[in-house]
Amino acid sequence: MTTMTSRRPPARVARSLRLRAPAMAAVLVVVLAASAPAAPVGDTALVGVARLQYGGGGDWYCNPTSLPNWLALFSQRTGIPVAPREFVVTLDSEDLFRHPLLYMSGHGRIALTEGELQSLRRYLDAGGFLWADDNYGLDASFRAMVAQLYPGQKLEPLGGDHPIYHAYYDLPGLPKIHEHDGDPAQGFGIERAGRLVIFYSWSADIGDGLEDPDVHGDPPAVRESAAKMAVNVLTYALTRP
């Protein structure tokens, strides 16, 4: 199976990235503020995550404690200020382009209109990033959506040396959080002009591992793996070329 790979940065570079992350995020916020339409002062001036509300009947709102926990973990571990809550956006929202990272998850069907597909394509091609986290049952519908979004391109498996697995923590690949059908966890991606624009975590269920401890009863080591992967994804989205 062919994988999308990239030369892994030396350890000293990874350490340097961790030290420089707050400054990088501050610069990114300034750039976004300068290039985006005027926004009200408040949460939108901070690093945040936007949950994508999509049609089709799938539970886009699943794992309600996962994103607040993700944001808190990211801030605690990197020192980067974050919005105190997640944002919820639709693909026709005026706020879409204010967010460097879109998150989508669920168990069921995704159905986007042609206008929504065009909007998502513009967002990604303009520098946005989409993380789709399969919460078991999303796979077939998400792959069909990607085929509509970028006809002729397929989700390609990401090797363990891809930078997304080493953006803040060094991980051997996508961690396995829940069993699902017993398949190994695998990350997939779509690249445009040499830039990863979609990261798809399959058979892993990172979002479940980010929920409050009493929701799924995951052991601490499993929750820690989910936390590290989530911190890596947001770091990668903020610092990638």
Per the model's pLDDT, the better-predicted residue between 9 and 104 turns out to be 104
**Residue pair 95/231 in contact by the 8 Å Cβ criterion:** no
Length reported for the chain: 241
Burial class (CB in 10 A: 0-12, 13-18, 19+), 240: middle
Q: What is the reported pTM?
A: 0.83
In tens, the pLDDT along 221-231 reads 999 999 999 99
Average of per-residue pLDDT values in the chain: 84
Q: What distance in Å separates the CA atoms of residue 109 and residue 207, rounded to the nearest whole number?
A: 18
DSSP-H helix ranges across 84-211: 114-125, 139-149, 206-210
The domain limits of the chain are 11-239
128-185 pLDDT, tens digit per residue, is 999 999 988 899 999 999 999 999 999 999 999 999 999 999 999 999 987 767 789 9
C-alpha–C-alpha distance, residues 43 and 96, integer Å: 14
Q: Is pLDDT above 60 for 9?
A: no
Q: Cβ contacts of residue 67 below 8 Å, gap of 6+?
A: 49, 51, 86, 103, 210
Q: Which residue has the higher pLDDT, 5 or 54?
A: 54
Q: What is the widest separation between alpha-carbon atoms in the chain?
A: 48
Is the predicted pLDDT of residue 14 greater than 90, yes or no? no
Cα–Cα distance, 107 to 205 (Å, whole number) = 11
Decide yes or no: CATH 3.50.50.60 for domain 11-239. Answer: no
